Amino acid sequence: MDHVESVRIEDEPLLLTPGPVTLSARVKRAMLRDLASGEPAMQETIAWSRRYLLGLCNAQGTHTAIPLVGSGTSGTEAVIGTFVPANGKLLIHTNGVYGDRLVEIARRIRTPYTSFRTAPYTPPTPEQFEAAIAADPGITHVMLVHCETSTGILNPIEPIAAVCRRLGKGLLIDAVASFGAFRLDARTLSFDAVICSANKGLQAPPGLAWIVAKKSALEEAKGNAHSLTLDLWDQNQHLDRTGMFRFTPATHLLLAFAEALREHEEEGGIEGRHARYHRSWRRLVDGMRQMGFRTLLEDAVASPIVATFHEPLDPGYSFKALYEGMKRRGFIIFPGRLAAANTFRIACIGVVTEADIGRALEALAETMGEMGVVGMGRG
């Protein structure tokens, strides 16, 4: 039996989206406590969460964990704005919507950057990064998305990290979707910063971003930040000195986040969570293929976070009818932010089990029958 089998929420649709996710009742209950931001219990909640995240990355001693109030996008903007100096330059890889967002952030905050793109179903190669760096000696930092949830592709971090180490470039990783379900070892990867969001693989409420940052790189970044509220150097030094945020923290979210980390630990940490997600993803992909659907990605490059499927060619099909039919049957699928035309996505994260996916497949088959759709494939 899955660890989360007994913690399902009362009579609510199950979110099959790549964030926010369905939370356990236990995590929700943690938000019912009111604490002032400076109380010892609040400070210990923050300190324990910081220690746990560093442990997940094998980063004790070399790195620090910095929380921010905001979405994962707030975390990515904070990292770009803090780590890339005015005389530096950022190389961004993109093969989807969230890589494109990194480009948009750099452009909007006037961070010097260059970028290159691979197809939505194609991971980049280390040789492409080497070539891009060789073509522009001004590049000081490299950034990419680990799991690009607009398709579900998993981009290869280890060989790219090796290129960055060999060429002396700072590595910034957007792990907003993957953190908590994949191991990102600080000693192996030697990254300058990894960004995660509370509301995905860590299964906490949305509204908190966390950055695991290399201490030496963060110290060199002092004074870089384009923003007061997103200054990671300043936020970190204040936390280390006082145990508190510089500005009013999201106390209820921090309490829930710590409870979600305890659930994560009890499930077996990264390995346990990844295993459950993979079981659910395997059931989903196999079941959809049995119904005639084709996946956008080959299994070898797909993550167990979210799967993307080609839409049916049948003229009776519409995504709106699919969405509404699934919702009536107790499941919410994601309606937007796609990197490939004529596709839709179903995610496997949150307190979702393999049995839940089985029920979702039944609901999807019923909805397709309701639409009168017969032909599932796309040629």
pLDDT digits (tens, 9 = 90+) for 168-193: 999 999 999 999 999 999 999 999 99
The beta-strand segments (E) located in 226-321 are 306-310
* CATH 3.90.1150.10 placement within the chain: 3-22+269-371
Average pLDDT over residues 73-78: 98
Q: How confident is the model at residue 12 (pLDDT cuts 50, 70, 90)?
A: confident
Q: Which of 50-54, 99-103, 159-163, 333-337 has the lowest mean pLDDT?
A: 333-337
Stretch(es) of the chain classified as CATH 3.40.640.10: 26-266
How far is the C-alpha of 165 from the C-alpha of 188, rounded, in Å?
Answer: 10
pLDDT for 377 beyond 70: no
Is residue 155 within 8 A of residue 68, CB to CB? The reply is no
Tell me which of 37 and 2 has the higher pLDDT.
Answer: 37
Domain boundaries 3-22+269-371, corresponding CATH code:
3.90.1150.10
Prediction pTM value: 0.95
- 101-147 pLDDT per residue, tens: 999 999 999 999 999 999 999 999 999 999 999 999 999 999 999 99
Q: Over 70: is that where the pLDDT of 10 sits?
A: no
Residue found under tokens 């459950």: 276
353 or 3, greater pLDDT: 353
Q: Is a pLDDT exceeding 80 seen at residue 373?
A: yes
Q: How many residues does the chain have?
A: 379
Residue 74 and residue 196 in contact, taking contact as beta carbons nearer than 8 Å: no
User: What pLDDT does 9 receive?
Assistant: 53
In angstroms, the CA 316 to CA 229 distance is 49
Give the CATH architecture of domain 26-266: 3-Layer(aba) Sandwich (3.40)
8: pLDDT strictly greater than 80: no
Per the prediction, the chain carries an average pLDDT of 94
Under the banding of pLDDT at 50, 70 and 90, the label for residue 6 is: very low
| pLDDT at residue number 374 | 75
pLDDT at 109: 98
- What percent of the chain stands above pLDDT 70? 96
Asked if 41 and 371 touch (Cβ cutoff 8 Å), the reply is no
The β-bridge relationship of strands 170-174 and 193-197 is parallel
Cα(84)–Cα(82) distance, rounded to whole angstroms? 6
Around Cβ 270, how many Cβ atoms within 10 Å?
18
Mean pLDDT of 23-28: 96
Averaged over 146-154, what is the pLDDT? 95
Contacts of 320 (CB under 8 A, 6+ apart): none
Q: How many whole angstroms separate alpha carbon 360 and alpha carbon 371?
A: 17
Mean per-residue pLDDT for 12-37? 95
| Integer angstrom CA distances of residue 99 from 235, 343, 352 | 26, 19, 27
Tokens read off for 187: 């000693």
Q: pLDDT tens-digit profile of 194-210?
A: 999 999 999 999 999 99
Q: What is the pLDDT of residues 251-261, one digit of tens each?
A: 999 999 999 99
Amino acid code (one letter) for 266: E
Q: How confident is the model at residue 375 (pLDDT cuts 50, 70, 90)?
A: low
Say if residue 329 carries a ligand binding annotation. no
Average pLDDT value for residue range 11-26: 93
Question: Confidence class of residue 338 from pLDDT cuts 50, 70 and 90?
Answer: confident
Alpha-carbon torsion, ordered 47, 52, 53, 59, to 10 deg: 100
DSSP-assigned letters across all residues of 143-212: EEESEETTTTEE--HHHHHHHHHHHT-EEEEE-TTTBTTB---HHHH--SEEEEETTSTT---SSEEEEE
- Note the pLDDT of residue 11: 73
Q: Extract the tokens encoding 124.
A: 């980049």
Mean pLDDT of 237-241: 98
N-to-C CA span, the chain? 38
- Tell me what pLDDT residue 337 has: 60
Tens digits of residue pLDDT in 303-316: 999 999 999 999 99
Q: How confident is the model at residue 340 (pLDDT cuts 50, 70, 90)?
A: confident
